Amino acid sequence: MSIEELRDKINSVDTELIDLLAKRRGLSKEVIQDKNDNKNPIRDQKREEELLKRLIKLGKQKGVDQHFLTKVFYEIIEDSIRLQQSHILNPSKEVTGKERLTIAIQGIEGAYSYLASQKYFAYSNKELEFVSKKRFSEVVEAVEKGEADYAVLPIENTTSGGINEVYDLLLHTTLTIVGEETFQVKHCLVASADVSVHKIKKIYAHYQAAAQCSNFLVTLPEARIEYFADTAMSVQKIAEEKNPEFAAIASEEAANLFKVNIIRKEIANQEENHTRFLIIARNISKVDNRLPAKTSLVMATSHAPGSLVKALSVFDAYKINLTKLESRPILGNPWEQMFYVDFEGNRDDENVQNLLDDLGPYLRFFKVLGSYPSQVVKKTKLDLHESVDVKDDAYVEKIKEIQKPIVKKKAKAKSYKLASREYKEDDTIVKVRDVEIGGDDFVVIGGPCSVESESQIFSCANEVKVNGAQILRGGCFKPRTSPYSFQGLEWDGLNYLEAAGKEYDLPVITEVLAPEQVLAVAKQSDIIQIGARNMQNFSLLKEAGKVHRPVLLKRGMMSSIDELLNAAEYILAQGNRQVILMERGIRTFETATRNTLDLSAIPVLKELTHLPIMVDPSHAIGERDKVAPMALASKIVGAHGIMVEFHPEPEKALSDGPQALRYPQFAQLMIDLKKL
């Protein structure tokens, strides 16, 4: 069969896929109609989990990669949820009967506000008409005066933070927030001709876009930055001027709209660069209580000690989670602040109404800016290994009681104050993306000892994901006993590890060896590991304490528990309170295994410290056939998780091959852990 015939077949299959997706969307609309008639919840996550499990099983039979399949169906499920939410919300109800919605934005077509608007209103099935304004204040005025139905305003960016002008406008407008949308910003450098970036003499850019691309702009010292009111308008400018030495920072969509060349993609400082937009309107829009909602308000406390603490304590009393707290100066009142607050909850809920009532006595001013559906659709957690209920409830409760730390209230003062139970009685939970270490879930970190190649770490990441482990490990900088042993791929290895984590939606962890590595590694790794050989490298500990990344600290090979906790204290004392301790075996007179795994350290540490405690049975035992029993024992004695090594071909591993599990062994271990 020729390549043309194969492409024709692919085109035919693609057409069938589109038809099937359209058919599925139609069925989703019928489902929400039935849910509305019967007042059923919008989401049934048990049904979603069963659906995904069935599809994965079917996919295996058809030879479809599990990770690819789940990615596709997560997108389909999210689309279905947003479609159903849109049906309930009917965002155009205040303009009922109109086939067109008028949206006011700052900028012109192709601007990020324009793109975010298209994303948000895509489910309304209405024609969109845009009203372009130069300033944010004019956008708000357009809706206040009835010139537009909605305004879409950027409120914060994950790289450059909040947009102060918009916060100030929210305080004084009579409009209300009715929705939110997040849009991934992918800045490009665009020009009227396909030229080298080093020939560019002038760059038009919005000041926020320039700030988000500052690292790239430093590499072009000859280029002068000229600030523009809007990203799309800067593209329009270079399209009109047709000067090949002039460029603009904008989106790929804007470049395509104005038919100019993209000369460099992905120029932002951070790849994960998202802007959150608010949708505001004249009238309050009630949120169906079946939808997850957020409420935004602005408040001013009295200018007295403890006033903010008292106000925030009300949220704690009602168990309502704050998602944002942003301060802005009060004009005319030097050194006094207003606070913009976002929290989870619907103002029509009784619990939220009671919170607002009880909040009042601690404030001299507050204004609810709106309640609106949360834009974030949380993915259904997929447990591919069914738990096996082999113990009765009484047995489970007894195990929990055994594992509960004994807190000695009147113990003498310790040298590790911040790590001690006396300082903090409740367990510390370290959150890494959506993984919580130190809570009820048993966390498994898995992967190879060393990152050896891009294909190897991607293969291992797939195994982590498929088998239900939560975090991907891989050594990039390797401390080896012999200077002639493999020292790791270093920065190339870190790039591979980071890419694999992003591809499979997994947090990653890798080790740092020197203080000067910490900050750079922290930009790419979700957790920083300090190995056993560096447990008392105090300069390294102090540097790790200065970054906002969790630190996993391994116990030294000949270190006492007291020394381990004092090492953790060095990190905590610098301000980083996200420390995870790890028992990895100590040297004793026994030589039957690589080290002696001190499982007694787990209950001892749980009594002495609030920090999470994990176990590394791979380095402790050093023999793959003995790793699984010790991993299971670690869970029994109360560890919060384990770190285990596996490799696609352990015999060919460049480091610690004898202790690396084979893929089937790792899969079986994950099943056995679920049975406990």
Active site residues: 275, 277
What residues does 431 pair with on adjacent strands?
436
State how far the Cα of 153 lies from the Cα of 117, in Å rounded to an integer: 9
d(CA 583, CA 146): 65
In sequence order, what DSSP letters do the residues of 275-316 get, joined into one string?
A: EEEEEEESS-----TTS-EEEEEEEEE-SSTTHHHHHHHHHH
641 Cβ contact list (under 8 Å, min separation 6): 437, 442, 443, 444, 445, 612, 614, 615
* 3-class state of residue 344 by DSSP: strand
Q: Which of 609, 597, 673 is nearest to 641 (CA)?
A: 673
- The 3-class SS string of 517-534 reads HHHHHHCCCCEEEECHHH
> Distance between CA atoms of 166 and 328, rounded to whole angstroms?
11
Buried b (16+ CB within 10 A) or exposed e, 157-188: bebbebbeebbbbbbebebbbbbbbbbebbbb
Task: Let me know the angle formed at the C-alpha of 553 by 551 and 559, rounded to the nearest 5 degrees.
Answer: 160
- Say how far apart CA 58 and CA 364 lie, in whole Å: 60
**Helices 490-503 and 454-466 sit at what angle, rounded to 10 degrees?**
40
| Residues ≥6 apart with Cβ < 8 Å to 157 | 163, 185, 208, 212, 273, 274, 275, 276
User: Residue 593 burial by CB count (10 A; 0-12/13-18/19+): exposed, middle or buried?
Assistant: middle
Q: Is residue 519 within 8 Å of 545, Cβ to Cβ? A: no
CA distance 28 to 4: 36
Q: How many Å apart are CA 557 and CA 590, to the nearest integer?
A: 13
Q: Which of 474, 470, 423, 397 is nearest to 611 (CA)?
A: 423
CB atoms within 10 A of CB 448: 27
Which tokens is 603 given? 């209950």
Residues 616/529, Cβ–Cβ less than 8 Å: no
